[in-house]
Amino acid sequence: MTNCFILENGLYVEVVGDKRDFNDNRTPVSKRPNQYYDYVDGSWQLNTERMDIGVSEEVRSNRDMKLATEVDPIVSNPLRWADMTTEQQNAWSQYRTDLLNITDQEGFPHNVTWPTKP
């Protein structure tokens, strides 16, 4: 059984076990919807600033993973690059640029259009 509490210092904790085991001052609360919520005045409130930061970090991480696993093995390999036509090289260069510019999209970070891999 998981019990959820707000501690005196405002931190949210989830504890597995029987809440009768606790003698300190904890306020029982419902489970937090996700990491972007704060407990304010008796209810969970979305912290949009924290959500924007978290979603931005997730998008950048996904972008970096695509660059490392999809783009870099091709564009940084001289033999693979030399075997491509100019059209193929241009497509990969554009894909890399589009990934790097993902943070410049108007809907970033919540509404991102991912470029198509060549």
Domain that holds residue 94: 53-104
Q: Does 78 share its domain with 97?
A: yes
- Other beta carbons less than 10 A from residue 25's beta carbon: 8
In a domain, 116, yes or no: no
In a domain, 111, yes or no: no
Q: Tell me the pLDDT of the chain (118 aa) as tens digits.
A: 788 888 887 888 888 876 555 556 778 889 999 999 998 888 999 999 999 999 999 999 999 999 999 999 999 999 999 999 999 999 999 999 999 999 999 999 999 999 999 9
Distance CA 12, CA 5 (A): 6
Q: How many domains does the chain have?
A: 2
In a domain, 113, yes or no: no
Give the residue ranges of DSSP H helices in 1-118.
Answer: 48-66, 72-75, 78-82, 86-100
Q: Does 98 share its domain with 57?
A: yes
Contacts 24+ apart (CB under 8 A), 40-49: none
In a domain, 7, yes or no: yes
Please return the burial class of 95, using the count of CB atoms within 10 Å of its CB with bins 0-12, 13-18 and 19+: buried
User: For 83, left (φ over 0), alpha (ψ -120 to 50), or beta?
Assistant: alpha
